[in-house]
């Protein structure tokens, strides 16, 4: 597959898949991939919210390709919507195969993050109500 993340995405997280994250066949557990996507959503949402955010929803993750030990997992994010307290992100996971230059899309999903205060209660996103293009700037 040709390497083409969706337009408007930015590389948010890149990490190496290690043996401790794999099953006996050498495939990386889907839960590990999902946790890396959640970390990327957290990083991007915190930047936009200028503070703490939490994951409140993830919409459908379908694993299209396996991640293998030694692959580099690259996670891209794009802002779909910034609401009063929430940030909706499209998150894509791509793999760069070990010792190769080929890249393949592993999965994608929509993550909904909510800005919270020190007590864990929803708070307004400083740029609340902006469009995705404005939030990406």
Q: What percent of the chain has pLDDT over 90?
A: 79
Summarised one tens digit per residue, pLDDT across range 36-85 is 999 999 999 999 999 999 999 999 999 999 999 999 999 999 999 999 99
Q: Is the dihedral of CA 15, 17, 20, 21 positive or negative?
A: positive
State how far the Cα of 37 lies from the Cα of 43, in Å rounded to an integer: 10
Structure tokens at 6: 């969706």
pTM to 2 decimal places: 0.87
Q: How many CB atoms lie within 10 A of CB 85?
A: 18
Find, among 108, 54, 113, the residue nearest to 82 by Cα. Answer: 113
Find, among 47, 57, 39, the residue nearest to 127 by Cα. Answer: 47
DSSP-derived pairing of the beta strands 53-59 and 72-82: unpaired
Cross-strand pairs, 72: 16, 96
Helical spans, DSSP H, in 1-137:
30-49, 132-136
């Amino acid at each position: 597959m040709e390497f083409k993340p969706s337009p408007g995405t930015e590389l948010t997280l890149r990490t190496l898949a290690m043996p401790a994250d794999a099953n006996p066949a050498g495939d990386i557990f889907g839960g590990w991939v999902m946790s890396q996507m959640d970390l990327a959503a957290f990083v991007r949402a915190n930047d936009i919210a200028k503070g703490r955010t939490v994951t409140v929803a993830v919409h459908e993750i379908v694993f299209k390709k396996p991640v293998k030990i030694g692959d580099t997992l690259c996670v891209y994010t794009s802002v779909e919507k910034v609401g009063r307290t929430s940030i909706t992100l499209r998150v894509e996971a791509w793999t760069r195969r070990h010792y190769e230059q080929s890249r393949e899309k592993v999965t994608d999903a929509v993550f909904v993050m909510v800005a919270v205060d020190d007590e864990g209660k929803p708070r307004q996103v400083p740029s609340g109500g902006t469009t995705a293009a404005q939030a990406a700037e």
